[in-house]
Amino acid sequence: MCTAEDYNKFFPVNDRSKDQLETIKTKPGNEMFCIDWETADLSFYGVEASGDYSELDIVILPCNVRLTPMGGFEDRIDPQCKGNLEEQIKYIGPMNMLVYYNSERFV
């Protein structure tokens, strides 16, 4: 989960989004997850218009999916995971994804 140190690395948030970000930072269950750049083997480059760029795909999966067949390093299925369809729909729930990132372009 993002720490205060992680949040300090972002550009200042727009005034219209300050309250929403503060809610995310303080309300249990609304936490954001940050990439640990020291251990992640990721690099981002280019812009889509150039045809030479990298991207990050985010995949939302039910709790009973094994990750290694998709390139994951471990299969970590929570012992409390319920595999029936109704419980999986509840687990994934209505999606509400917020992405917080810095955007820079060097010329």
d(CA 40, CA 74) in angstroms, rounded, equals 15
Domain edges within the chain = 1-56, 57-102
Q: What is the DSSP letter of 89?
A: H
**Per-residue model confidence (pLDDT) at position 19:** 92
**Per-residue model confidence (pLDDT) at position 60:** 76
Contact 1, 34 (CB under 8 A): yes
- The closest of 5, 17, 37 to 99, measured between CA atoms, is 17
Contact 6, 74 (CB under 8 A): no
**Per-residue model confidence (pLDDT) at position 104:** 66
| Block mean pLDDT (10 aa), the chain, length 107 | 90 90 86 86 81 81 78 78 83 76 67
Residue for token digits 């509840």?
90
What three-state secondary structure class fits 31? coil
